[in-house]
Amino acid sequence: MIITLTPNPSLDRTYAAETIHLGGINRAHATRVDAGGKGLNVTRALTAAGTASVAIFPAGGPDGAQMIAELAASQVPAHPVPVDIDTRSNVTLVDAAGTTTKINAPGDTLSSRDVSELLDALRDEVAQATAAGHSPVVVGAGSLPAGLDDDFYGHVAEVCTGLGARLVLDTSGAPLARAVATGGLELIKPNDEELAELTGRELVTVGDVVDAATQVIDQGTRSV
């Protein structure tokens, strides 16, 4: 059982046009709306492949309700946590050549109660998976909404460690650094820029990457 946690989901609105003119009027010939966020995408892909998964995420306002409805229509298992803020909406522009321009909103600030309820939802799903005989894996994924403490994924790691779940983390910057410092991560998957920032190394060769990954493993992460 793979449980995903996405603290900063979005309703993704995509507009396709023949050409995109900055500063002008652009007419789309196709549009689509999807529930977005790295963890949601992981659960969506796993479900399509026949692997048990459920997505935990905060949802609020009209866009949050539309996101929940889209996941239900797509038969993607979800555990939304109601919040008082509005779920963010991201915009993607795609032209005929396939050039993609994304505008991502930062996301409103979650309250301390919202954070507690997200972690409670995680505890509930891990407990249910364990009771059903599964060995749960948690995937924490994506950026943090504005105002959320950089220690959030560290708290997630502590919850997972306490309940015997393994935590895979896909994030970057200060939230990644704090979680690695907390320890107890099963796997992280940084790209070269994220790994260089995390370790303070210049990564020029494959050997540089191996050394940087080893440095992270020595801090208490099982795999990089």
Q: Where are the beta strands (DSSP E) in 19-170?
A: 30-36, 53-59, 78-82, 88-94, 100-103, 137-141, 166-170
The distance in angstroms from the start CA to the end CA of the chain is 21
- Is pTM beyond 0.85? Reply is yes
Average pLDDT, the chain: 94
Chain segment 130-184, per-residue pLDDT in tens: 999 999 999 999 999 877 889 999 999 999 999 999 999 999 999 999 999 988 8
Q: Is 67 left (phi over 0), alpha (psi -120 to 50) or beta?
A: alpha
Chain segment 59-93, per-residue pLDDT in tens: 999 999 999 999 999 999 999 999 999 999 999 99
**Mean pLDDT, rounded, for 99-104:** 93
Which DSSP letter does residue 94 get?
A: E
Quick one: pLDDT band at residue 119, thresholds 50, 70, 90? very high
* The predicted structure's pLDDT at residue 212: 96
CB 190 within 8 A of CB 201: no
Task: Return the percentage of the chain with pLDDT > 70, whole number.
Answer: 100
* The predicted structure's pLDDT at residue 183: 85
Residue 206: how many other CB atoms lie within 10 Å = 8
Question: What residues contact residue 96 under an 8 Å CB cut-off, 6+ apart?
Answer: 17, 18, 19
Which DSSP letter does residue 108 get?
A: P
* The predicted structure's pLDDT at residue 106: 87
* The predicted structure's pLDDT at residue 135: 92
* The predicted structure's pLDDT at residue 139: 97
* 3-class SS of residue 154: helix
Question: How far are the Cα atoms of 42, 137, 162, 222 from residue 134, in angstroms, in the given order?
Answer: 18, 9, 16, 21
Would you call 25 exposed, middle or buried from its count of C-beta atoms within 10 A (0-12, 13-18, 19+)? exposed
* The predicted structure's pLDDT at residue 22: 87
